[in-house]
Structure 1
């Protein structure tokens, strides 16, 4: 049953976090906000983009495999309190993702276009951490992993963490430093990367 819940939550997350948000972006700006995968094939930038997509596919596959009975969860993580906590985390992750996306306004993007300059958002959730959308996505993914704690789901979560780290460190932070210069360097020095106070950078 929990695997069915995981699938339903993935569907809700995809429909709202990607589908609805890109539709709203298109309505407001004439652009969906999707900028594709950066870098040449095989580069760290490219690996980050492709890996993010693969991690999502692996997470969905983990739920499908568990629903079909082809994959069993790790027994030690199947206690009801753990799975209730996982469901709560997943729902909170969806809500936090939508909230942070909304705070980005017209600056919301998936991927980076080096020819484009958007406003640097530093208020609201972005005043607490530099990447609240990614933080919220990781909370969602952690919750899903607790709902379906099978080896494939765990591997997918590890891959997601790795690729988000690469995307932020290798693609987004260098881009934002080039575009916003001193303002972004100040932001790096005062605001944590994914959690308040953690990952601040002084350059």
Structure 2
């Protein structure tokens, strides 16, 4: 299971990030990479740094187990459930990327204006990519339940919260104004109905 986890995770990273960037560049001329926002040490900067750290640790977790790091548990049903959750989360995140179309980005350029995507999975939650990405990360931690995987999961959770609350939501409010305010008042942040923002007066 540990080797399977490593292969699946690396394949997912290639498809979800490098592959999506390549497709976007072919269609629009930009790869969608905007880098880490904010000055070093700021909350937005930490969001970007922790996201990168989480991806590196995600790959390091199965490598560490293959190198001899003990698992916290070796329960086959738990690890099997992790595999299923990882596959569902990975497939869901790829589907939400496709739903974003040319608006997909890694990071935010405050001077750039992209479409407000509110259809498909974005009608269910405002950040379905992060929801499904987190599901895949939980699945990975269950497949390879060691200390590195747990730290990776915590880093990703913190990064997502910072990225969404400190970087993306303020950007979307500035860029799309009342349209985003109305959308955010109807649709939950990560889950249906949870984390809706107050309606604009």
Which band: TM-score by shorter chain? over 0.9
Q: How far is the alpha carbon of 1:196 from its aligned partner?
A: 0.6
1:82 to 78, 81, 87: 78
Structure-2 separation of matches of 1:65 and 1:193: 34
Q: Where does structure 2 lack aligned partners over 5 or more consecutive residues?
A: none
Per the alignment, in what secondary structure is the counterpart of residue 163 of structure 2? helix
Q: How far is the alpha carbon of 1:81 from its aligned partner?
A: 1.1
Per the alignment, in what secondary structure is the counterpart of residue 202 of structure 1? coil
Question: For the Cα contact (< 8 Å) 2:134–2:157, is it kept in 1?
Answer: yes
Structure-2 separation of matches of 1:15 and 1:49: 19
Deviating beyond 6 angstroms after TM superposition, the runs of 4 or more aligned structure 1 residues are none
**1:125 is matched with which residue?**
121
**1:8 is matched with which residue?**
7
Structure-1 separation of matches of 2:83 and 2:44: 32
Alignment RMSD (CA, Å): 0.8
Per the alignment, in what secondary structure is the counterpart of residue 24 of structure 1? helix
**2:112 is matched with which residue?**
116
TM-score, normalised relative to structure 2 = 0.97
Question: For the Cα contact (< 8 Å) 2:54–2:156, is it kept in 1?
Answer: yes
Structure-1 separation of matches of 2:111 and 2:30: 15
Q: How far is the alpha carbon of 1:199 from its aligned partner?
A: 0.7
Alpha-carbon displacement from aligned partner over 1:123-168 (angstroms, at most 9, x marks no partner):
0000000001111110110000000111111111011101100000
TM-score, normalised relative to structure 1 = 0.96
Structure-2 separation of matches of 1:56 and 1:118: 26
The question of 1:21 aligning with 2:17 is answered no
The question of 1:40 aligning with 2:31 is answered no
Alignment map for 1:39-118 (pairs within 5 Å): 39-69=38-68, 71-75=69-73, 78-118=74-114
Q: Where does structure 1 lack aligned partners over 5 or more consecutive residues?
A: none
Aligned length: 199
Q: How far is the alpha carbon of 1:3 from its aligned partner?
A: 1.4
**1:178 is matched with which residue?**
174
Which has the larger displacement, 119-128 or 151-160?
151-160
Question: For the Cα contact (< 8 Å) 2:125–2:191, is it kept in 1?
Answer: yes
The question of 1:153 aligning with 2:118 is answered no
Structure-1 separation of matches of 2:18 and 2:185: 34
Structure-2 separation of matches of 1:55 and 1:170: 18
